[in-house]
Structure 1
Amino acid sequence: LAASVAPTLAFVAGHRMAKAALEAAVLDAELRAQGRSMGELFGATRDWVDCGVSVGIAPTLEELLDEVTGYVEEGYRRIKLKIKPGWDLVPVGAVRELLGPAGLLQVDANTAYTADDIPLLAELDAFGLLLIEQPFAEEDLATHVRLAEACETPVCLDESILDVTTAVDAIDRGATSVVNIKPGRMGGYLEALRVHDACRALDVPVWCGGMLETGVGRAANVALAALPGFTLPGDTSASARYFAEDVTEPFVLGDPAGEHRGQLRVPDATGTGVTLREELVRGWATRPPVVLTAG
């Protein structure tokens, strides 16, 4: 059973993403045998989830604004900008002006800053951001606490949160007031559920991070993002954001002019709710499979 995967692999240090992949596969098989969906098991409370998109460091400000404009036209409900020293206040200000005061905007620093940058990061308060994500090194909770005390923008942790223990510890220390939940980083969906439940009990909002998943992982992430504690749009972009062809039927945003603009539908079929497009996988294979037989 899927619940036995993490305990069985506990003797292996690290390798959380490999463990998460194995647990997800076992969970998918288990739920298909039971005739249940991941959304049902997880406790999904919505049929559609709000989607955001992550925007990387652009070569120029003009190119950044063009890219963001395209995502807004597609209907994405939240923009996340990657920032780094030298690429922060100006691009964030430009995108805020583009989106207007009501547009949902947040930034992700991917540990690019140090304690010396706290005054600069506090200047981001002027832009009405949802949050600033992981500005300092994973292990450096103390500096995240200092930033949280120095600014009004909520501090969100990503890479620092490995499981429910680290999540609760970071919240208790005041290092974070929002948590990015990535099942791969946490070693699996079952641990991600525990983090969600703990954060909800502490009244800490969570959102679902993305890691370039194919349709298989995206389906599970969308089901996870339908839980009640996920009150912020996640990085659950449509398949076309990264892939010309997805290994499942593509995830497509709701009609930009319709009721579900900027949303993805939660799969309700058994398991992940999606089916692998085996012909594509065969076509992409670099060589045919080798089948070993006894004798």
Structure 2
Amino acid sequence: MNLKAIGLYVIKMPLKLPFSTHLGTVAEREAIIIEAIDSTGLKGYGEAVAFSSPWYTEETVQTCYHVLKDFLIPLLLDSDIIHPNQVDVLFKGIRRNHMAKAALETAVWDLYAKQKNMPLARLLGSTATTIPAGVVVGAKTAAAAIDQIEGYIEEGYSRIKVKISPDHDYALLAMIRGKFPDIQLMADANSAYTLDDVEKLKALDEFGLLMIEQPLGVDDIVDHAKLQKQLTTPICLDESIVSFDDARKAVELGSCQVINIKIGRVGGLKTALAIHDYCKDRGVPVWCGGMLEFGVSRAHNIAMAGLPGFTIPGDISSSSRYWEEDIIVPEVTVRNGAIEVPDQPGIGFEINYKRLKAACSFEEMFRL
């Protein structure tokens, strides 16, 4: 692929609205944008979607930067890869650090697609021209959640996700269902429950939810299988699935009926595609999760979410949902509940360098 340089840009921007879960509130988003450059000057982009603190996974922006700079980038620049699938093999000697790996791997995928003059979505096997848009509500009160949902329905979003916890679940969902009886509704627990809460979770069956996402421990598969046997509502696993084998074991054990695929969480597009294919062959629906991303990661999600196994609208919303101004042009927009899949080479979006530089706190370039 003739890689000649890798650039890292640490950026930070405030969210338009703070995003709250039982784990905390995010008011400002930090990330790393990766720029992969070949010998002709062609550029591909990826995004490290770890947060500033280790509340979602053990990775942070700072740990990603360290692993990228000191391990992954030297490995990549010292290699002679001819296809992005080789990046995963190249990084096998570095344990975990999935978000750092995915950031670099997706930049290579974007560059490779541009070298082939193909849209990334088509290169991955998608034929979709649009994807349905879902959105997640992260509000501290039921009244605020209702207000947000009303606005999102007016904007055309076809699936709504709300955050729940043991002290903020039944009453919240009852209010939402009372106000919006027909919306596609799902709940995300972010591991707030234990098996001691079985009766509390069984009570949520009456709301006809699409799924309850990650009710139990972040690294659990076994207890989720016990819980799923007692619920009518499908369980979706998120944090528990960080590898292909995790997905395989969860399906085999009956730990879930749905899987959330996040490119960053599973270490890159190669693994994400493998999980998609495995689940599709076994009739297990998948959907694309969100990480309060900037436009680069959002663009990779759009390319992936058009694959046929993604039968549930993902957490892929418009750029304006989070940012006054995104770092890509054109910005991602939702029209009539759908997002267009770009037909331009690579991710199909250009970098807004003026906005990138304005949001950038540190940058570094590594050359062959």
Please identify runs of 4+ aligned residues in structure 1 that moved more than 6 A.
289-293
2:97 equivalent in structure 1:
15
Is contact 1:122–1:147 with CA below 8 Å preserved after alignment? no
1:41 equivalent in structure 2:
123
2:84 equivalent in structure 1:
2
Question: Is residue 2:224 matched to residue 1:144?
Answer: yes
Q: In structure 1, how many angstroms separate the alpha carbons of the residues matched to 2:94 and 2:165?
A: 34
Q: How far 1:61 sits from its partner (Å)? A: 2.0
Q: Which has the higher strand share?
A: 2
In the TM superposition, what whole-angstrom CA distance separates every residue of 1:202-245 from its partner, at most 9, and x where no partner exists?
11000000112211111110111101000001000111111111
Is contact 1:238–1:251 with CA below 8 Å preserved after alignment? yes
1:78 equivalent in structure 2:
159
Question: Is residue 2:168 matched to residue 1:87?
Answer: yes
Is contact 1:57–1:83 with CA below 8 Å preserved after alignment? no
Q: In structure 2, how many angstroms separate the alpha carbons of the residues matched to 1:122 and 1:234?
A: 25
Q: In structure 2, how many angstroms separate the alpha carbons of the residues matched to 1:292 and 1:77?
A: 43
> What is the TM-score with the length of structure 2 in the denominator?
0.75
Q: How far 1:142 sits from its partner (Å)? A: 2.2
Q: How far 1:168 sits from its partner (Å)? A: 1.1
Question: Is residue 2:104 matched to residue 1:29?
Answer: no
The one-letter code sitting in structure 2 at the alignment partner of 1:65 is: I
The structure 2 residue matched to 1:50, chosen from 123, 128, 132, is 132
Q: In structure 1, how many angstroms separate the alpha carbons of the residues matched to 2:337 and 2:280?
A: 24
In the TM superposition, what whole-angstrom CA distance separates every residue of 1:16-49 from its partner, at most 9, and x where no partner exists?
0010000011111111011011111111131111
Q: How far 1:279 sits from its partner (Å)? A: 1.6
1:36-185 pair list within 5 angstroms: 36-58=118-140, 60-100=141-181, 102-185=182-265
The RMSD of aligned alpha carbons is: 1.6
2:302 equivalent in structure 1:
222
The one-letter code sitting in structure 1 at the alignment partner of 2:133 is: C
State the SS of the aligned residue for 2:223. Answer: helix
The one-letter code sitting in structure 2 at the alignment partner of 1:5 is: V
Q: In structure 1, how many angstroms separate the alpha carbons of the residues matched to 2:365 and 2:255?
A: 52
Q: In structure 1, how many angstroms separate the alpha carbons of the residues matched to 2:92 and 2:263?
A: 16
2:341 equivalent in structure 1:
266
In the TM superposition, what whole-angstrom CA distance separates every residue of 1:105-161 from its partner, at most 9, and x where no partner exists?
000000010110011101111000000000000232222112211110001100111
1:258 equivalent in structure 2:
none
> What is the TM-score with the length of structure 1 in the denominator?
0.93
Q: How far 1:74 sits from its partner (Å)? A: 1.1
State the SS of the aligned residue for 1:150. Answer: coil
Taking structure 1 as reference, are residues 291 and 89 closer, same or farther at Cα in structure 2, changes over 3 Å only?
Answer: closer
Question: More deviation in 60-69 or 126-135?
Answer: 60-69
Taking structure 1 as reference, are residues 84 and 32 closer, same or farther at Cα in structure 2, changes over 3 Å only?
Answer: same
The one-letter code sitting in structure 1 at the alignment partner of 2:119 is: S
Listed as ranges, the gaps of 5+ residues in structure 1 are 255-260
The one-letter code sitting in structure 2 at the alignment partner of 1:52 is: G
The one-letter code sitting in structure 1 at the alignment partner of 2:163 is: K
Q: In structure 1, how many angstroms separate the alpha carbons of the residues matched to 2:360 and 2:299?
A: 23
The one-letter code sitting in structure 1 at the alignment partner of 2:219 is: E
Q: How far 1:179 sits from its partner (Å)? A: 0.5
Taking structure 1 as reference, are residues 5 and 149 closer, same or farther at Cα in structure 2, changes over 3 Å only?
Answer: same
